[in-house]
Homo-oligomer: A and B are copies of this chain.
Amino acid sequence: MEPGTARIAVDLLGGDDAPAVVVDGALRAMRADPDLHLLLVGPAEVADELIAALDPAQRARITVRPVRVAVGMADHPMAARAQSTVRAAVTAVHDGTADALVSAGATGATVTAAVLGLGRWPEIRQPALVATLPAVAGPVVLLDVGGSLEPRPATLARHAVLGAAYAAVAHSIAAPRVGLLSVGTEAGKGDRVRRATDPLLAVEPLPGGARYVGLVEGYDVTLGARVDVVVTDGFTGNVLLKAIEGAYAMAGGPPAEGGAPRAAALLGVAGTVVVCHGSARADDVASGIALAAHLWRRRAIDLVSALLDAATNRTDRSTDTEVRTS
């Protein structure tokens, strides 16, 4: 674990089994990371329950941003109430009260709240959700896993830049190999979007010393031997990730080296945002909080943004990785 305080806003009402699994996950994260501070965003009584389970020293690392359930909202579904908590968590990141936020609420609502509250990077039309699979040969970065369901080829090419930068910054992968997911590896394999994107990627300047290796297949997402970054549309990435998760559940749990990711990072907005999926368990929420802290400590989002600027301006600024004030 990198040193340094990380202040993470946690959406207490996000997720199918919120608030119970979120409280449990937050407790695990607090115990695992002595430099972690949490900003609990949600009903005061839920925050109080979590605080009651901590010792006094740990309590000093907790802040609460109460979100009152509006009159008449108490009967609304959890999902509707959670939208106000995720918005409040975004505000906390925007106003600097928190360094990053984690939500297991509806991904679409979180992405929308983040875009509206934090702003998109100027080069980004559609932010991408990026997940990392721990394959035997090393981490495999997969994007998009849900943000852009029907990206244009230019968006996929932009996501390749984001993925390469993320692999270099978040996972310290030197000279990442970037592939475009398709139904075969020979040039020309795939649907129209893939056939149009492949030649774009062949000439796209990629940051971090990354290089485009061409089309890759489903195997490469799970085995990771051929590629470090796999680019796909959010529809395919989302169903792929859930099918892999199901396969590991079928196989009696993920292998010692490997498995399915438990959280995804949002790339393309000016702030550190991590989403867990709706059916997240406490361990998943704890992993999401740990990922948010890791990304913040590395200033990963700002560095990815700087690498993207350098790549899209096509100037040689690849060593200019100072923090962007966005």
Distance of A150 Cα from B254 Cα, bound (Å) = 33
| Interface residue tally on A, bucketed by range | 35 or more
Decide: A190 near B242, CB < 8 A? Known: A223-B250, A251-B255.
no
The contact of A243 among B190, B191, B218, B250, by CB within 8 Å, is B218
Is residue A182 within 8 Å, beta carbon to beta carbon, of the partner chain? yes
Distance of A246 Cα from B232 Cα, bound (Å) = 17
Distance of A252 Cα from B252 Cα, bound (Å) = 11
Decide: A150 near B192, CB < 8 A? Known: A234-B183, A241-B218, A243-B240.
yes
Given contacts A146-B183, A219-B243, A243-B243, 4 further A-B contacts (CB under 8 A): A136-B250, A219-B246, A236-B236, A244-B247
Interface residues of A in 122-173 (CB under 8 A from B): 135-136, 146, 149-150
Is residue A323 within 8 Å, beta carbon to beta carbon, of the partner chain? no
Distance of A263 Cα from B83 Cα, bound (Å) = 45
Distance of A249 Cα from B247 Cα, bound (Å) = 10
What 1/0 flags go to A214-231 for Cβ under 8 Å of B?
A: 000111111100000000
Decide: A223 near B251, CB < 8 A? Known: A149-B190, A191-B235.
no
B246–A248 CB distance below 8 A: no
B192–A219 CB distance below 8 A: no
Distance of A234 Cα from B146 Cα, bound (Å) = 19
Contacts of A255 in B (CB 8 A): 250-252
The contact of A222 among B181, B247, B252, by CB within 8 Å, is B247
A247–B239 CB distance below 8 A: no
Task: State the oligomeric state as a number of copies.
Answer: 2
The contact of A245 among B190, B191, B219, by CB within 8 Å, is B219
Contacts of A235 in B (CB 8 A): 182-183, 190-191, 194, 236
Contacts of A136 in B (CB 8 A): 250
Distance of A146 Cα from B217 Cα, bound (Å) = 12
Is residue A238 within 8 Å, beta carbon to beta carbon, of the partner chain? yes
Q: Which residue in chain B gives the minimum CB-CB distance to A192? A: B150
Contacts of A238 in B (CB 8 A): 183, 218
Q: Which of A240, A243, A248 gathers most chain B CB within 10 Å?
A: A243
B236–A247 CB distance below 8 A: no
Is residue A43 within 8 Å, beta carbon to beta carbon, of the partner chain? no
- A115, chain B: closest CB distance, angstroms: 18
Contacts of A182 in B (CB 8 A): 235, 239
Is residue A119 within 8 Å, beta carbon to beta carbon, of the partner chain? no
B234–A246 CB distance below 8 A: no
Q: Which of A217, A223, A247, A251 gathers most chain B CB within 10 Å?
A: A247
Is residue A66 within 8 Å, beta carbon to beta carbon, of the partner chain? no
- A215, chain B: closest CB distance, angstroms: 11
Contacts of A258 in B (CB 8 A): 250-251
- A234, chain B: closest CB distance, angstroms: 7
Distance of A245 Cα from B181 Cα, bound (Å) = 15
Interface residues of A in 182-200 (CB under 8 A from B): 182-183, 190-192, 194
